[in-house]
Amino acid sequence: MNANSKFVFVTGGVMSGIGKGVVTASIGKVLQFRGFKVSVVKIDPYLNVDPGTLNPIEHGECFITENIWEFKPVYESDERTYRISEIDQDFGTYSRILGIEMHPSHNITSGQIYLSTILSERKGRFLGKTVQIIPHVTDIIKDRLMGIAEKEDLDILLIECGGTVGDLESSIFLEAFRQIKLESPKRTAFVHVTLVPYSRAVGQQKSKPTQHSVKMLQSIGLQPDIIIGRSEKPLDMDIKRKISLYSNVPEIAVISNPDLEVVYELPLLFEEQGLGDQICELIDLKAKLVSYSEVTNYSEWVKMVDMFKNPKDKIKIAMPGKYFNISDSYISINVALEDAAAHHGYKTELKMINITEDTDIQKELDDCDGVLLTPGFGERAVEGMIKSAELAMEKKIPFLGICFGAQLFFIAFCRKYLGLKEAHSTEIAPDTPYPVIDLLDAQKNVTEKGGSMRLGAQKILVEKNTKLFEAYKKTEIFERFRHRFHIQEQYITNEAKNKGMVISSRDENGRIVNSIELDREDHWMVGVQFHPEFKSRPYNPSPMYFDFIKECIKYKKSRKN
Which positions are catalytic?
Answer: 403, 531, 533
> Residue 526 in contact with residue 548, Cβ under 8 Å?
yes
> What region, left, alpha or beta, does residue 220 occupy, with left being phi > 0 and alpha being psi -120 to 50 degrees?
alpha
> Residue 395 in contact with residue 545, Cβ under 8 Å?
no
What distance in Å separates the CA atoms of residue 344 and residue 308, rounded to the nearest whole number?
Answer: 10
What distance in Å separates the CA atoms of residue 423 and residue 434, rounded to the nearest whole number?
Answer: 5
H or E element that contains 218: helix 208-219
Output DSSP code: residue 4: S
Output DSSP code: residue 52: G
> Residue 260 in contact with residue 270, Cβ under 8 Å?
no
Estimate the share of the chain in helix, then strand, then coil, as percent rounded to the nearest 5.
40, 25, 35
> Residue 138 in contact with residue 179, Cβ under 8 Å?
yes
Cα angle 236, 238, 243; round to 5: 95
- Report strand pairing: 226-231 vs 188-195: parallel
Output DSSP code: residue 134: I
Residue 78 burial (C-beta neighbours within 10 Å; 0-12, 13-18, 19+):
exposed
Residue 214 burial (C-beta neighbours within 10 Å; 0-12, 13-18, 19+):
buried
Please spell the DSSP secondary structure of 458-483, one letter per residue.
EEEEEPSSSHHHHHH--SEEEEEEEE
